[in-house]
Structure 1
């Protein structure tokens, strides 16, 4: 009979005005993979930060192998055999794999006066061989793939003696092939007695990789289930508290003329490095044109150039046949371009403003909101109240500040503000990031309603299932270039993964860059 490697015994964690974890009991068997499932704000990361010693529980006890622990810091947790791999890797890019793994715990020579580089390299090579990791100990971090960087983070934890590994949203930046490789790593680690807890909001991945799945909702453990004895519908209902429609119903729609046309667009980033290299595409009326790719391959810079937030180095952007390459953001809004930004706090909201003021952003010169040049605050208040009600923004108070809302509710408010203006072109960058499954369902319905009404939608998403199910045509971007434009219905996830990694796939049938009527 397996013993418990981890027992979080009645953990409560309170912050001022917030109960992040409420009497949570979590039991993880030794040598197992345990998924912690839930939407953003459910308390998953807070609970794991308690286990990792970043937070001290307000109430309850952390037990490892049956022994009560009192962690004052992550160092205490590491010393007790707990390692955590964060969603954003903590690696030093110019340093080698070996240097990163041993950093802070380097083997020494000459009485401790110097780092023993040969011993360091041997330790990393031996560790990689033991667990079947394919890494180059001499490669610089900046020269290896994201999946390889993640394995380096795992090696760092193992080097420090971790028996329990926590991974926070480990698949968020991986291609499908790298996800499969990560799950193979899980199997190897557990076969050698390690215990893995991974945080996720992806139902399929939890069922595929875990032995057991615990679901948190609003800081409460609402159930632990055997991964082999559950299904997506049951997990979704546990996460949201009601039945959820998980599959997108996308009816056939006839497309019109190109509403948005991008030609030979080249965009440089903040370092003056080419981030988008000669990209061309158009988005027709009644079409969702999707862009898939691992984050950081030029999607952000492309969207900023299309929406008027960044001036391209070359190429053009046209709206209904009119060149808007150098038009202001305000003029693009006036023409009917809505924008859901990937960073809601930096690009979507003024955090100190209330929701009425945020609901007016970009529309303060629109006669509908400012007749005779003066803002109609009463009318704006009514409009924002309607958005809050329709998109279930909580708290439902137009006078609440944006910073008082959770990330998911901030996202719902932005989506509602942008979609409610009856735009002609919608640029939606990660529109469902950080919202619960029920809200994802609603936002997808709104996007498809816009599509049915003949609107042109440019959709960028890191959720491969989302961009694949919603798109009529799907471009795959790698290193600032479109590797291919494909039919999302006839292209497999594996083929998309290869394209996202920059490889060509002969079996993928390319869709035309300029779409035909459906």
Structure 2
């Protein structure tokens, strides 16, 4: 196969920190090439260099046999290298059609170059290619998280691109949406597009990718290994530099009821649903994108309102109406979108982690700075936060380490009784995933009630006592966590 895009000997330093050292990559026409690595391995820096967002200190890029130096992302786009990022870059107040035309307008030499916009027929064809069935006139604000991710990918596909770079493309997608995406990528490959597929999901890689490159500590440790020549265990070992055996979660026996939800309606027309969570229990809530599973998690945490019903904690008899009342009652919360709803990216890691307990370190509005960091000393080591310091801006940390900051924020709550976590390991590597799972195990053993909302069936089967399946904004079924996967998927799809 013809080599389309090649990176050789790429290095990048930020002061005394070495982000990349001798990173290499070869992308071939018609292939899906996976780029893997632990959080902090250098993937984000590498991708920024590939798309022109930053320049390397050393090394070379070659596109279609010719050396290239991208001065900006616009340069890369104009030469057919199209990135689709994990975190949304959509214009939410604009329509689907306007967002599909954004790349064309952004690369135009004149702001009035309307001929760079897609017409409605072209836009419909692009949406069909990724299996997204929404109106072109819908505002992006009205789309679900999964639909937004598919729109991001459709916008990249809509350009005549020779290299498509996808960063965690299935992170927000359910199983059916991921299958549609895979079909779309196969169509692109058949047309000769080279696809760089960045993911932490080893199952996705083994199913979709033709070749695998792995970074560790900024260095390419596996270069373009054929998918069938490297096992899942070998991938993990190369990513971490050590063997890794995931542990089953053995949580304590459940105790008395801690949280109770009665007659919750997620939409005005949905059937009411009720549930209770016991002390030391881990309850899993699963559903496809748009099913209402994430919405239910938000309601239980006081982060969203329902169309009827109530959520209360038996220990305090306090009714949860918003996040403030939920925190008073002892309900912690990790949202599904850490950037939009969780982190303060302009502030330090310490300010992010301590945001839930600042009142405990202040008197008359004056913060006692020395005391603020004390509760986190042991937690930093427990979670293997990298880098292991809290004075850096939260934006500096990789996705997995940013997720750890949100957990730290909740673990220091003095009256924590219930922890609601939405997609707890979305977009994190296997090491961070295990750290998070171990933390949830420890909390359950301490008697904390855990509610895990996840689209990852392997995760909920590992973590949870029971599963609540949500479809069409109502309960489709309840079962033990060791239920057959086919039965769970059938309920998630709304089958009887």
- Using structure 2 for the length normalisation, give the TM-score: 0.79
> Given the alignment of the two structures, is residue 290 of structure 1 paired with residue 284 of structure 2, yes or no?
yes
Q: How does 1:457-496 map to 2 (within 5 A)?
A: 457-478=450-471, 480-492=473-485, 496=488
Quote the residue 1:386 is aligned against.
Answer: 378
How far has the Cα of 1:228 moved from its partner? 0.9
* Cα deviation code 1:358-404 (max 9, x no counterpart): 54843745xxx899xx9998776554322223333344446667666
SS at match of 1:314: coil
Q: 1:153 to 1:242 in 2, by over 3 A?
A: same
Shifted more, 190-199 versus 376-385: the winner is 376-385
How far has the Cα of 1:30 moved from its partner? 2.2
| Ranges in structure 1 where 5+ consecutive residues have no aligned partner | 106-111, 268-272, 507-518
Q: How does 1:25-36 map to 2 (within 5 A)?
A: 25-36=24-35
Distance 2:96 2:394 in 1: 42
SS at match of 1:60: strand
Q: 1:147 to 1:425 in 2, by over 3 A?
A: closer
Quote the residue 1:315 is aligned against.
Answer: 309
CA contact (8 A) 1:350 1:358 kept: no
Shifted more, 349-358 versus 421-430: the winner is 349-358
Shifted more, 234-243 versus 74-83: the winner is 74-83
How far has the Cα of 1:96 moved from its partner? 6.2
How far has the Cα of 1:34 moved from its partner? 0.2
Quote the residue 1:281 is aligned against.
Answer: 275
- Using structure 1 for the length normalisation, give the TM-score: 0.76
Distance 1:113 1:252 in 2: 60
Cα RMSD for the two superposed structures:
4.4
* Cα deviation code 1:379-430 (max 9, x no counterpart): 7655432222333334444666766655533433443453465843222334
Quote the residue 1:509 is aligned against.
Answer: none
Q: 1:292 to 1:17 in 2, by over 3 A?
A: farther
Distance 1:363 1:394 in 2: 23
Quote the residue 1:424 is aligned against.
Answer: 417
| Ranges in structure 2 where 5+ consecutive residues have no aligned partner | 106-111
Distance 1:354 1:155 in 2: 34
Distance 1:404 1:211 in 2: 32
* Cα deviation code 1:100-156 (max 9, x no counterpart): 369848xxxxxx999799x94565678899xx7667797545588877776665565
> Given the alignment of the two structures, is residue 442 of structure 1 paired with residue 435 of structure 2, yes or no?
yes
Quote the residue 1:207 is aligned against.
Answer: 206
SS at match of 1:245: coil
Shifted more, 29-38 versus 337-346: the winner is 337-346
Distance 2:303 2:272 in 1: 18
Q: 1:135 to 1:230 in 2, by over 3 A?
A: same
> Given the alignment of the two structures, is residue 412 of structure 1 paired with residue 412 of structure 2, yes or no?
no
Q: How many residues align?
A: 483
Quote the residue 2:444 is aligned against.
Answer: 451
Quote the residue 1:54 is aligned against.
Answer: 53
Quote the residue 1:512 is aligned against.
Answer: none
Shifted more, 143-152 versus 317-326: the winner is 143-152
SS at match of 2:83: strand
